[in-house]
A and B are shown apart, each in its own frame.
Chain A
Amino acid sequence: MPKDPANIGKPEVAIKDSWCKGCGICVALCPKKVLVMNAQGKAVVACPEKCVGCKMCAEHCPDYAITVEVE
């Protein structure tokens, strides 16, 4: 998917839903409250615009479900 020009240069966090085991670590450790748990008990990106690209979530996801791209 091509990037919205407004988001160029911004970090982009993505979660591979099928690999998420719903442990909640990423949601708890994200300093900017970017991520939330959904009704199915999986982590989802709720406020992508707040992401600062620190990778706390990806570094601590035990299931390698998170990618953070920082340009």
Chain B
Amino acid sequence: MLADIEEFYRLDRLPHIWCPGCGNGIVLACLVKAIKELKYDQDKTVVVSGIGCSSRASAYLDFNTLHTTHGRALAFATGIKLAKPELNIFVITGDGDSSAIGGNHLIHAARRNIDLNVVIFNNNIYGMTGGQYSPLTPKVQKATTAPYGTIERPFDLAKLVEAAGATYVARSTAYHTRLTTELIINGAKNKGFSVTEVISQCPVSYGRRNRFNTPAAMLEWQREMAVPVIKARSMAPEELEGKIITGELYRGHAPEYVSEYTKLTQRLKEEAEGV
């Protein structure tokens, strides 16, 4: 597998540090395949990540990479895009990184519709710090901070970013590798804020506590729970309870932030020059 995409990895850093069966390696390969298919110049591509097991992904990639601070990947990515709009920017972030500590950055990046491609590695838990529940841990599931099961309702992150202004929203799973690659490609082609949420597995900090005996059982669960969005449209809310709706969920049109900014600076320059 690696042979097809190894030019995009820092091979001297492999094998990676992720636990046996962790979904991060699978999702990362989908992202790399997407970048390969997009034929982006490696030197004109940037991968920015926050903090968490998933965010460690940037360290394994041979692009311009930034491993930033917890929840702040989008703030760094916004700065890079404004300074160098010609770069293709991908943001790797975990469910905790993007929806808890980084939730505010997420909604405002969506509101601005800035041309960034976000891939959310959603393993439903804070993996790195040992399994605290995140805003995306499904209700009743167990975590170190919810030993009797969480009583909180999780976010529907796709709906959240759509409402906040993202112009491309998609969802897939680590099991559905080809769909994941395809959705990331389509997101990258959207000139605006694109979010692909990928349901992934953390067998160590989440699976073991929630009766998934093996990493494979978690992938099989993803396969069983996935409902393509076209099919979901004709299903009742009760039937969709606990399901993972996959595919392109939303596409919208809105002015893109960097284009607006460029127009503004252009206008001010012209005014100053008296044209």
Q: Considering only CB atoms, which chain A residue lies closest to B220 in the complex?
A: A28
Q: Is the CB of A64 within 8 A of B214?
A: no
Q: Is the CB of A24 within 8 A of B21?
A: yes
Give residues 192-243 of B contacting A (CB, 8 Å): 203, 214-217, 219-220
Contact partners of B18 in chain A: CB under 8 A: 62
Contact partners of B215 in chain A: CB under 8 A: 23-25, 62
Given A58-B1, A64-B29, A25:B21 Cβ within 8 A: yes
Nearest-CB distance from B221 to chain A (Å)? 12
The number of chain B residues with a CB under 8 A from chain A is: 27
Q: How large is the interface on A (under 10, 10 to 19, 20 to 34, 35 or more residues)?
A: 20 to 34
Q: Is the CB of B23 within 8 A of A62?
A: yes
- The CA of A3 and the CA of B215, in the complex, are separated in Å by 34
Contact partners of B14 in chain A: CB under 8 A: 19, 64
Contact partners of A67 in chain B: CB under 8 A: 1-3
Give residues 10-60 of A contacting B (CB, 8 Å): 18-19, 21-25, 27-29, 55, 58-60
Contact partners of B26 in chain A: CB under 8 A: 59-62
Given A19-B15, A23-B20, A25-B219, A60:B2 Cβ within 8 A: no
- The CA of A16 and the CA of B220, in the complex, are separated in Å by 24
Nearest-CB distance from A42 to chain B (Å)? 11
Nearest-CB distance from B198 to chain A (Å)? 13
Which of these, B1, B177, B217, contacts A64 with CB under 8 Å?
A: B1
- B139 interface hit (Cβ, 8 Å): no
- The CA of A63 and the CA of B17, in the complex, are separated in Å by 10
Given A19-B14, A29-B216, A62:B1 Cβ within 8 A: no
Give residues 23-59 of B contacting A (CB, 8 Å): 23-26, 29
Q: Is the CB of A62 within 8 A of B21?
A: yes
- The CA of A25 and the CA of B175, in the complex, are separated in Å by 11
- The CA of A19 and the CA of B174, in the complex, are separated in Å by 20
Contact partners of B203 in chain A: CB under 8 A: 23
Contact partners of A27 in chain B: CB under 8 A: 216
Given A23-B21, A24-B214, A62-B26, 14 new contacts (CB under 8 A): A23-B20, A23-B203, A28-B214, A28-B220, A29-B219, A59-B178, A60-B175, A60-B219, A62-B24, A62-B25, A63-B16, A64-B29, A66-B1, A68-B1
Q: List, sorted by A's number, 14 A–B pairs whose CB atoms are closer than 8 Å.
A: A21-B15, A21-B21, A28-B219, A29-B216, A59-B29, A59-B177, A60-B175, A60-B177, A61-B25, A62-B23, A62-B25, A63-B25, A67-B1, A67-B2
